[in-house]
Amino acid sequence: MNDDSTGRIVAALRAWIATAPAGAQLPSSRALTAEHGASPLTVQRAVRVLAAEGLVESRPGVGTFVRARRAARAADLDWQTGALRARTGRLRGLSATQRTVSPDAVALHSGYPADDLLPERLVRAALLRASRTASATTRAPAAGLPELRQWFAGELARVAPGDVTPPTARDVVVLPGSQSGLSAIFRAAVGPGRPLVVESPTYWGAILAAAQAGVTLVPVPSGPSGPDPDDVARAFDETGARAFYAQPTYANPTGAQWSAELRARVLDVVRRHGAFLVEDDWAHDLAIDTDPRPLAAQDHDGHVIYLRSLTKSVSPALRVAALVARGPVRDRILADRAAESMYVSGLLQAAALDVVTQPAWQTHLRAVRPALRARRTALLDGLSAHAPTLKVEHVPAGGLSVWARLPDGADPVDVMLACEARGVIVAPGDEWFPAEPTGPYLRLSFCGPDVDRFDAAARVLGEVLGAGAGLPAAARP
Amino acid sequence: MNDDSTGRIVAALRAWIATAPAGAQLPSSRALTAEHGASPLTVQRAVRVLAAEGLVESRPGVGTFVRARRAARAADLDWQTGALRARTGRLRGLSATQRTVSPDAVALHSGYPADDLLPERLVRAALLRASRTASATTRAPAAGLPELRQWFAGELARVAPGDVTPPTARDVVVLPGSQSGLSAIFRAAVGPGRPLVVESPTYWGAILAAAQAGVTLVPVPSGPSGPDPDDVARAFDETGARAFYAQPTYANPTGAQWSAELRARVLDVVRRHGAFLVEDDWAHDLAIDTDPRPLAAQDHDGHVIYLRSLTKSVSPALRVAALVARGPVRDRILADRAAESMYVSGLLQAAALDVVTQPAWQTHLRAVRPALRARRTALLDGLSAHAPTLKVEHVPAGGLSVWARLPDGADPVDVMLACEARGVIVAPGDEWFPAEPTGPYLRLSFCGPDVDRFDAAARVLGEVLGAGAGLPAAARP
């Protein structure tokens, strides 16, 4: 399907229809084919889109005609206010990182890797193969395809020390993306009204899933070297929490990777409190300078609920992730997942398994490191050359972004708006704080498609900050 | 990928490994190729699966070896009991309809259509095309692909009467299956602890989603001609409910299709109570004798939240459904969906749109009617010939199953077990009742792959019932 030319013809015809009287006949397929330099198939597709919208109707053998427009009566929707009542959660809708922006803008806001960081040929080949198997027309098991579950378990088993019984396929639940895993874990293993310890700042998607599940967040400070285990212990003691959500490897947004000592100490705190560690290993395949060391590989007694996603490393269209959890908690989460959406498309699972079991997948992973490193360097070099007042306290050893502190008193949203007016899209840091932000931050991704324009974007940021954007009027230069 | 031969070799090697000492070398690729009559690629794939499981390790240029097994220490998971506390919901895990059974059994329990009822060639072709587009490697918008949303809106617009402003793409949210829609609607538009009116019996998946969302079910009796609108009104009045979940077209399990008069009366009750009707149009593409008439097409003021799925009519692997809802309720549901899983795979959306906009899709839909009719006839003929004590009160004009009443006093689970022992799988009706069942029922699908064996299956059912299975001992012949 040629999306672009179909879309172009649809847009042109929609404009034509807007001024045409009801019953007017559309130009013939032949005329449209000639006018738009498109194939008859593309023209047909465009007409079908318009027919599906109810704008035109085709009379076989006669032609296609503009449909009579209906009387536009304004809908009375006020009654819904009473039915819906006030919002109870704090679901604030889309994150700034999820915005779709003009292709002309330099996107430093998105957390999704650009095409050249994805194994595109592998993905397409795997999808083509999967399309030909039974997985294209059959229902997958609730917990996922057995071989994919084995692969996820094997990834942890590979790095487990000799004295830890590694997880097996039975401990794995395949998910349609790791966000679904967060929602299910927070609902099933924490529960509405109960406390969940989190780092601050932490991933906004986890804050959102927690709000949806109605759990109460208990933030502990965290930074470039991770949280203080004593803070975590105190949070458990004070609130009776039985779960701690964290990103020990290339945390979003701080980039922290926990040291071996910190991993051991946190695991010890979690064990002593009879609690779960929800380990979100989101950037497992996005290492740059170090290797990921999942805590889950060291866990023998079911304290770690491990989340790993392929969405960002294989393809955002292959929404496949998995959680690994042992014991009753796995059963409780699986029951929640089954109630939520029954099963994950077997086609996506088969394609994901195909990709990650190809030898070329390892080659791709090796190639991603220098590609991410080059992007990180380009962004950091640009920032230090042009935006000296922006402080990047920590160079992340993996992941897709840097966490940069604005001058004290600056308003990140004002900075975002000032940058956006000049074609550079950044994400204000406030979304990553479960409570009031402790400082003004931006999260700047280096995974977008515009690496050649990182320098120019940093220049814009520097100029915006130099002009005092985001600062109170009195503090501007 | 040849799944079968890979799986066969994996199984053979796994058995070999189970008795081999650690460090033992696997037979060479050449030997395995010869032994299994498989291609070198297939053998390689099998070895990769075993390596991913941690059973073997390959040393390039040397060979593949059995890995040392770890000390198997029993995990101590008892502590989770305290962390998880008692279950608060009533999530009972998998429905009997979702069981995977022996391929030798006759499956009358599943709600998923057999391959020959699916547009298999269209699905594969659409997936192949979509695999080549940008949708294979990009993130889709939170509410879904604009053209697919337009298609769903257009489906309702096509049948909307002239005085109703039809829904537009803006009112549509694409979902990864309609179960996700039920969960999101019950969470966002009803809410924990609040009442939701439902038919009884009703779809077990809706009962499950309601339990997960913590809403309180308010059942009203329903049967082959749907519910009594006065009962619905009374349920609203008594409980203050603001939502009614129903399947007005080929209801699962009763097969009811509401008359035009009933549709108008229920819509009137819902309007007068300032309430939502959650219309689950699950069988829209599975009509046999009549045409579906969605209530949503008659709704002007946002009272109907409409759910339509392509999972059962296009492919269970294309988990694509949509909800159509106007006004603030749509925004609230979309916020919940975004928190739950951000977006639906654009690849699946593009493939689904491709299928339903092909002219061959209409041809397929026309061919499904006689195919379903023949299956329904085969099952009903078998039942009336061999199982006279089983009463089918209503021949459904669409859908995939019949609802059959057992003799009074029979236990549906005992009947299921007795049938299963003889290779026939049926679903006990109790799962469809939100409270205690009002009678002993079976739900018998006619959409499974074994239409030639329906007669033999009915004979088994008849013999099982004739022998008094499921009846108290005193009542047996």
For chain A, list the domains and their CATH numbers. 3-66 (1.10.10.10), 96-111+361-475 (3.90.1150.10), 119-356 (3.40.640.10)
* Mean local confidence (pLDDT), A361-370: 96
- pLDDT for residue A459: 97
Query: Looking at chain B, which residue has its C-alpha nearest residue A184?
Result: B340
Answer whether residue A70 shows pLDDT above 70: no
* Mean local confidence (pLDDT), B151-158: 94
CA separation, residue B332 to residues A85, A186, A215, B196, B277 (Å): 11, 20, 19, 17, 16
**Contact between chains at B75 and A319 (C-beta distance less than 8 A):** no
- pLDDT for residue A94: 64
- pLDDT category at A1 given cuts 50, 70, 90 is very low
**Contact between chains at A157 and B54 (C-beta distance less than 8 A):** yes
Model-level pTM?
0.85
Which residues from chain B sit within 8 angstroms of residue A3, using beta carbons? 133-134
H helix or E strand, kind and range, residue A245 = strand A243-246
26-55 in chain B: CB under 8 A from chain A: 45, 48-49, 51-54
Answer whether residue B9 shows pLDDT above 60: yes
Tell me the pLDDT tens digit for each residue of B266-303. 999 999 999 999 999 999 999 999 999 999 999 989 99
Answer whether residue B326 shows pLDDT above 70: yes
Judged by a CB distance cut-off of 8 A, whether residue B283 touches chain A is no
Q: B462 to chain A, minimum CA–CA distance in Å?
A: 30
- pLDDT for residue B208: 94
Judged by a CB distance cut-off of 8 A, whether residue A238 touches chain B is no
**Contact between chains at A137 and B151 (C-beta distance less than 8 A):** no
Query: Looking at chain A, which residue has its C-alpha nearest residue B150?
Result: A53
* Mean local confidence (pLDDT), A180-202: 96
**Contact between chains at A3 and B138 (C-beta distance less than 8 A):** no
Answer whether residue A431 shows pLDDT above 80: yes
- pLDDT for residue A37: 87
Query: Looking at chain A, which residue has its C-alpha nearest residue B48?
Result: A357
Q: Which residue in the set A83, A343, A345 is minimally distant from B242, CB to CB? A: A83
**Contact between chains at A345 and B345 (C-beta distance less than 8 A):** yes
Q: A73 to chain B, minimum CA–CA distance in Å?
A: 7
Contacts A–B by Cβ distance under 8 A: 326
**Contact between chains at B339 and A211 (C-beta distance less than 8 A):** yes
**Contact between chains at A139 and B316 (C-beta distance less than 8 A):** yes
Judged by a CB distance cut-off of 8 A, whether residue B449 touches chain A is no
Mean pLDDT of the residues in chain B: 91
Tell me the pLDDT tens digit for each residue of B398-435. 999 999 999 999 999 999 999 999 999 999 999 999 99
**Contact between chains at A80 and B169 (C-beta distance less than 8 A):** no
Q: Which residue in the set A1, A133, A153 is minimally distant from B1, CB to CB? A: A133
Q: Which residue in the set A75, A147, A183 is minimally distant from B49, CB to CB? A: A147
- pLDDT for residue B89: 57
Answer whether residue A72 shows pLDDT above 60: no
- Of residues A369 and A53, the one with the higher pLDDT is A369
* Mean local confidence (pLDDT), A407-413: 92
Query: Looking at chain B, which residue has its C-alpha nearest residue A3?
Result: B133
Other CB atoms closer than 10 Å to residue B30's CB: what's the count?
10
Tell me the pLDDT tens digit for each residue of A118-164. 999 999 999 999 999 999 999 999 999 999 999 999 999 988 887 78
Judged by a CB distance cut-off of 8 A, whether residue B339 touches chain A is yes
Tell me the pLDDT tens digit for each residue of A259-316. 999 999 999 999 999 999 999 999 999 999 999 999 999 998 999 999 999 999 999 9
Q: A190 to chain B, minimum CA–CA distance in Å?
A: 7
* Mean local confidence (pLDDT), A99-108: 84
Mean pLDDT of the residues in chain A: 91
**Contact between chains at B48 and A357 (C-beta distance less than 8 A):** yes
Which residues from chain A sit within 8 angstroms of residue B112, using beta carbons? 139
HSE-up (13 A, CA, CB side) for residue B177: 25
- pLDDT for residue A422: 94
Tell me the pLDDT tens digit for each residue of A3-40. 578 888 988 888 888 777 778 889 888 889 988 888 88
Which residues from chain B sit within 8 angstroms of residue A90, using beta carbons? none
- pLDDT for residue A99: 76
**Contact between chains at A180 and B151 (C-beta distance less than 8 A):** no
Q: Which residue in the set A88, A127, A140 is minimally distant from B131, CB to CB? A: A127
Judged by a CB distance cut-off of 8 A, whether residue B208 touches chain A is yes
Instruction: Spell out a b/e string for B204-221, using b for 16 or more CB atoms within 10 Å of the CB, else e.
Output: bbbbbbbbbbbbebbbbe
Judged by a CB distance cut-off of 8 A, whether residue B363 touches chain A is no
**Contact between chains at B169 and A300 (C-beta distance less than 8 A):** no
* Mean local confidence (pLDDT), B174-188: 96
Q: Which residue in the set B80, B214, B341 is minimally distant from A328, CB to CB? A: B80
Give the residue from A42, A79, A172 with the most B CB atoms within 10 Å of its CB, the best one to mutate. Answer: A79
- Of residues A426 and A160, the one with the higher pLDDT is A426
Which residues from chain B sit within 8 angstroms of residue A120, using beta carbons? 136-137
Q: Which residue in the set A80, A84, A192 is minimally distant from B192, CB to CB? A: A192
**Contact between chains at A317 and B162 (C-beta distance less than 8 A):** no
* Mean local confidence (pLDDT), B28-43: 89
How many angstroms separate the CA atoms of B55 and A168, rounded?
A: 11
- pLDDT for residue B1: 43
Judged by a CB distance cut-off of 8 A, whether residue B71 touches chain A is yes
Q: B409 to chain A, minimum CA–CA distance in Å?
A: 31
Which residues from chain B sit within 8 angstroms of residue A318, using beta carbons? 345, 347
Query: Looking at chain A, which residue has its C-alpha nearest residue B118?
Result: A137
- Of residues B52 and A193, the one with the higher pLDDT is A193
